[in-house]
Amino acid sequence: MSGFTRQEIVTADGNVIVARFFAPREPVKGAVLVVPAMGASQDYYEPFAAWLAAQGFLAATFDYRGTGLSRRGSLRGFDADIVDWARLDCAAMVESLSARARDKPLYWIGHSLGGQILPFVPNRDRVAKIVTVATGSGYWRENSMPLRRIVWWLWYVVAPLSLRLFGYFPGKRLRKVGDLPRGVMEQWRRWCLNPEYAVGAEGDRVRTLYASVDAPIVSLSFTDDEYMSARNTESIHGFYVNAPLKMKRIAPGEVGAKRVGHFGFFRPAFEASLWRRHLLPELS
């Protein structure tokens, strides 16, 4: 498999995020931007991105501002929210990757949060196709039962208290999600407490943004996802009212596994059963 080149990408507001580009040895078929889940480092997606490069795709991973390799020191006082991640960080990655791919199609593979935030990306028209992986609305009352039993404690007690004490969300210390900027956690909390998630929390403008997405979307979700229920998945994709939509809900037994869950798709063990069988045919 191919290696990668690390590059610092300057966003429209002058911030710097760290990205990795995985180039194929053969002629480029297309470009793939891997858009991470909340609290997931780009390190986690490295084997997947390297595999994409081996299939002939120019692949890119990155860390949102304030996270992973894009973090610069303490998060106390660091100003960023989820919409900043989309309209600035993701937009810069779309710009950079599409410039490298030139006339080749650009695919967006969004894991969880990464499948929720495309409507906020101003240059989303450059994306030819979207694949969402384990993406759902996040509304807590519709979360999968294992998470629903405990997540109310996060939203009503842990998050407000920790933000007040620390000025950011110390997820690593709490062993929940990971460290997050204050604005990210506050906005995510508002979304997760609303039955219509971001659309309900942010209003009609955001409903219109979701409706403006018209590129084809393929949703890959899993029956044993410990976070996202079938209802979560249906809810978020229901806001993409003008995008051709294919929903694929996969049980672990269908791919010869005991478990896939919320994070399993990106593990190399699923190269044959999920990557080749369910993803690769969509990248054409």
> What is the value of pTM for the model shown?
0.95
Q: Per-residue pLDDT for 148 more than 90? A: no
Q: Is the pLDDT of residue 183 over 70?
A: yes
Q: Give the homologous superfamily in CATH for domain 5-282.
A: Alpha/Beta hydrolase fold, catalytic domain (3.40.50.1820)
Q: For the chain, what are the domain ranges?
A: 5-282
Helix H or strand E segment including 220: strand 217-222
Q: Per-residue pLDDT averaged across 138-167, rounded?
A: 93
How many CA atoms within 13 Å lie on the side-chain side of 150?
5
**Which single residue is written with the structure tokens 């997050």?**
180
CA-based nearest residue to 55, from 66, 63, 47: 47
Helix (H) or strand (E) segment spanning residue 6: strand 5-10
Give the dihedral sign, CA 83/71/192/168: negative
First to last CA, the chain: 21
User: If we measure between CA atoms, which residue out of 246, 226, 235 comes closest to residue 148?
Assistant: 226
Tell me which residue of 91, 96, 38 sits closest to 67, measured CA to CA: 38
Q: Per residue in 219-267, pLDDT tens?
A: 999 999 999 999 999 999 999 999 999 999 999 999 999 999 999 999 9
What local confidence, expressed as pLDDT, does residue 15 receive?
A: 97
Residue-level pLDDT at 3: 84
Distance (Å, whole) CA 41 – CA 138: 20
Confidence of residue 214 (pLDDT cuts 50, 70, 90): very high
Q: Which residue has the tokens 């409507």?
A: 119
Query: pLDDT at position 52, please?
Result: 97
Q: Is 193 exposed, middle or buried (0-12, 13-18, 19+ CB in 10 A)?
A: middle
